[in-house]
């Protein structure tokens, strides 16, 4: 292992072809693909930098290659490189890597050049952005934090005087030559996103006072001078917001706005507001996809979107509001680390793009070229074939709505037999199942497919990908219409495939965990259930969780002002109806769905005489990261489903 040291020789540069060590297909087990976590495209569109591939036997590397293919330069670091950012002239690449347990900022050149350490940092760092003159780099910075940033991370210990301790994420600026650092945003404002103005004098930022995880739901757009003088807010937007971008003339700001349940998975309409303030204008009030990322190129706003259980890329005219989806496909696209939704690498003229593409049929690879006319750049997963059958996008009617979902069969099945199926409900609820290659991060689905199960992935009302009216269709109605959508989808899946409807289970994490808990109190159609990080009781959840502001958009009032609307959607209200055996899983330090919620449901099942098991994973947050815990979660879930849906089988 190479240890980072504070010198220009801290990194190893090697050359290799873009087609890195193809992986042979495996038999009898779903093959594991090499993954990419991030990419960045130079402003001229000629060079792409990416992080990956990553396997146990292959170190994480930073790669730089021509979009016209050819050899790539590899930079192998001791810590995972991340937050890639090209300078405005495309000559330098900034990135973060870990040294001695702390993030450090580095810069290297597009052509073979030394890697230079710019600054060592004491805290959480994200979102590197060069100033327009190329002399400074700004980023989000939490100095001396008590925990990793973000709602998915494990919570810190809650001791002492409660309510007065929280980390603040600010905008910091580093001088590239001297390494001098200063924080410029107000110390009481938690900043979630920011962008430099075209002239470099100020930032457009989404921020709110106080604690960041819950403050995201009340963010406003702030104009923050780069010299650290007093910022000003453009006013309360009355909705969740994300992805602020400047017009090229610096006079307007476009952003996403809507009902958004998760900071990590935005989606909404495209809004426009003057940088001097005023009333925002919705440019896409009738759009039937869910834009989730924005870029401004010339006189056009470019967006990526959740789209009908897949992804889309489109444009908006900021003057007329004319918008169109230019490309749409049944796949997942991204250019950012840990992206739940889409992003692109996009040249300054908008003519060249770079992205990571993957689907249920194709493992992840990097593609480059004009939007919709991409050519494959990397071939690190050549030879892999899916360890499951051909996925089918289903559409069905539920009430007055058209609902979409994905049905995935095992690799081989006999149409003359009947097979067990597991329904997997996504988190959010404002998210969606989008096709991707099954990997360790979603290994329960992979393991079930390997063992001969069908998998059904519905996108019920409340999901992204079908416009804001569809996303808002579960407001004050959690568990009712969305469960009807899932059950009618189950019927549709059974009509289309040889599924034994007497052997159907349900599972999910977060909102999917809530829907699993809710389903077993409302229907006996599921023979068993695995509820991950679920919500059992909205009344107690209000005070237990760290992000309760998100509830106001869905329930319309606090628990104290309208307890009835919360009670009608709480699984614990109907716990006496539960008869379905249920396995319950949760992380010990989950901020979003705290462990007491799972305790309530477990105790309720026990009191009702229902077969149940309850597993709490030590030190885990909402997103599990310990490989041993992830492995246990998968194996435990598969054993539970086998016990109830395939009795007598051996895992």
Same-domain pairing of 429 and 548: yes
Task: For 604-626, write each residue's pLDDT tens digit.
Answer: 999 999 999 999 999 999 989 89
pLDDT at 75 over 80: no
Tell me if 408 sits within 8 A of 360, measured CB to CB.
yes
Q: How many domains does the chain have?
A: 2
Same-domain pairing of 519 and 593: yes
Same-domain pairing of 407 and 371: no
Cα 209 to the center of its chain, rounded Å: 24
**């709110």: which residue's tokens?**
208
DSSP string, 385-411: --SB---EEEEEEETTEEEEEEEE-BS
Percent helix, percent strand, percent coil in the chain, to nearest 5: 15, 35, 45
pLDDT at 57 over 60: no
Distance (Å, whole) CA 572 – CA 599: 11
Task: For 573-591, write each residue's pLDDT tens digit.
Answer: 999 999 999 999 999 999 8
3-state SS, residue 434: coil
**């990526």: which residue's tokens?**
304
Task: For 481-539, write each residue's pLDDT tens digit.
Answer: 999 999 999 999 999 999 999 999 999 999 999 999 999 999 999 999 999 999 999 99
Tell me if 273 sits within 8 A of 324, measured CB to CB.
no
Same-domain pairing of 15 and 56: yes
DSSP string, 594-648: -HHHHHHHHHHHHHTT--EEEEEETT--SS---HHHHHHHHHHHHHHHHHHHSTT
Same-domain pairing of 374 and 401: no
Q: Which helix (H) or strand (E) holds 563?
A: helix 563-567
CATH of residue 8: 2.40.128
3-state SS, residue 253: strand
Domain presence at residue 410: yes
Residue 10: predicted pLDDT = 33
Label residue 339 by pLDDT band (50, 70, 90): low
pLDDT (average), residues 243-269: 95
User: Lowest-pLDDT range, 154-158, 301-305, 328-332, 403-407?
Assistant: 154-158
Same-domain pairing of 473 and 365: no
Residue 59: predicted pLDDT = 56
CATH of residue 502: 3.40.50.1820
Q: In terms of residue numbers, what domain contains 111?
A: 1-120+352-383
Task: For 325-335, write each residue's pLDDT tens digit.
Answer: 999 999 999 98
Helix 627-645 × helix 443-450 angle, to 10° = 40
Label residue 211 by pLDDT band (50, 70, 90): confident
Residue bearing the bigger pLDDT, 111 or 102 = 102
Same-domain pairing of 482 and 572: yes
Domain presence at residue 596: yes
What's the whole-model pTM score? Answer: 0.92
- Report H helices in 455-536: 468-471, 481-496, 511-522
Same-domain pairing of 491 and 375: no
* Of 115, 118, 113, 192, residue with least CA distance to 151: 192
Question: Please, how many CA atoms are within 13 Å of residue 348, restricted to the half-sphere of its CB?
Answer: 13
Same-domain pairing of 401 and 462: yes
Residue 441: predicted pLDDT = 64
């Amino acid at each position: 292992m190479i240890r980072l040291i504070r010198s220009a020789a801290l990194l190893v540069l090697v050359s290799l072809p873009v087609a890195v060590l193809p992986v042979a297909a495996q038999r009898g087990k779903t093959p594991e693909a090499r993954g990419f976590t991030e990419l960045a495209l130079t402003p001229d569109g000629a060079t792409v930098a990416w992080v990956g591939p990553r396997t146990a036997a292959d170190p994480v590397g930073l790669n730089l290659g021509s979009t016209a293919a050819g050899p790539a330069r590899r930079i192998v670091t001791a810590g995972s490189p991340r937050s890639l950012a090209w300078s405005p002239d495309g000559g330098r690449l900034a990135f973060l890597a870990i040294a001695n347990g702390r993030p450090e900022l580095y810069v290297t050149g597009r052509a073979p050049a030394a890697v230079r350490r710019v600054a060592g940092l004491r805290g959480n760092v994200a979102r590197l952005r060069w100033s327009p003159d190329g002399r400074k780099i700004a980023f989000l910075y939490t100095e001396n934090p008590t925990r990793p940033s973000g709602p998915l991370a494990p919570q810190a210990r809650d001791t002492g005087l409660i309510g007065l301790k929280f980390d603040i994420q600010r905008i910091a600026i580093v001088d590239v030559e001297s390494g001098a650092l200063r924080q410029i945003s107000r110390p009481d404002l938690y900043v979630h996103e920011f962008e430099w103005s075209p002239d470099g004098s100020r930032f457009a930022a989404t921020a709110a006072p106080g604690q960041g995880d819950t403050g995201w739901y009340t963010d406003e757009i702030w104009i923050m001078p780069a010299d650290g003088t007093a910022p000003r807010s453009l006013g309360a937007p009355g909705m969740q917001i994300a992805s602020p971008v400047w017009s090229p003339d610096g006079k307007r700001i476009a952003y996403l706005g809507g009902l958004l349940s998760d900071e990590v998975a935005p989606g909404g309409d495209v809004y426009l507001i003057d940088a001097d303030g005023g009333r925002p204008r919705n440019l896409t009030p009738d759009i039937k996809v869910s834009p989730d990322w924005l870029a401004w190129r010339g006189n056009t706003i470019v967006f990526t979107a959740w789209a009908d259980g897949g992804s889309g890329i489109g444009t908006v005219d900021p003057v007329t509001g004319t918008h169109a989806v230019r490309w749409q496909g049944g796949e997942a696209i991204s250019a950012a680390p840990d992206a739940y939704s889409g992003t692109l690498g996009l040249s300054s003229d908008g003519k060249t793009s770079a992205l990571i593409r993957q689907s249920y049929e194709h493992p992840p690879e990097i593609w480059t070229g004009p939007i919709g006319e991409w050519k494959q750049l990397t071939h690190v997963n050549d030879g892999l074939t899916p360890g499951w059958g051909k996925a089918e996008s289903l559409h069905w009617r539920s009430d007055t709505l058209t609902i979409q979902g994905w049905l995935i069969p095992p690799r081989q099945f006999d149409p003359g037999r009947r097979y067990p199926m597991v329904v997997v409900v996504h988190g959010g609820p404002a998210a969606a199942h989008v096709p991707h290659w099954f990997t360790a991060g979603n290994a329960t689905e992979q393991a079930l497919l390997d063992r001969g199960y069908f998998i059904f992935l519905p996108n019920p009302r409340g999901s992204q990908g079908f416009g804001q009216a569809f996303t808002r269709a579960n407001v004050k109605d959690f568990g009712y219409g969305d469960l009807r959508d899932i059950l009618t989808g189950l019927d549709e899946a059974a009509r289309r495939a040889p599924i034994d409807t007497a052997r159907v289970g349900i599972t999910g994490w977060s909102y999917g965990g809530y829907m699993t808990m809710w389903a077993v109190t409302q229907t006996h159609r599921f023979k068993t259930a695995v509820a991950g990080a679920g919500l059992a009781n909205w009344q107690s959840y209000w005070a237990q969780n760290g992000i309760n502001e998100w509830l106001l958009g869905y329930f319309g009032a606090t628990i104290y002002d309208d307890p009835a609307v919360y009670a009608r959607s709480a699984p614990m209200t109907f716990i006496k109806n539960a008869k379905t055996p249920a396995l319950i899983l949760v992380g010990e330090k989950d901020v979003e769905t705290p462990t007491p919620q799972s305790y309530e449901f477990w105790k309720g099942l026990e009191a009702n005489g229902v077969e149940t098991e309850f597993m709490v994973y030590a030190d885990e947050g909402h997103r599990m990261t310990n490989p041993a815990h992830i492995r246990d979660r998968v194996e435990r879930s598969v054993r539970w489903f086998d016990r109830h849906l395939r009795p007598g089988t051996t895992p």
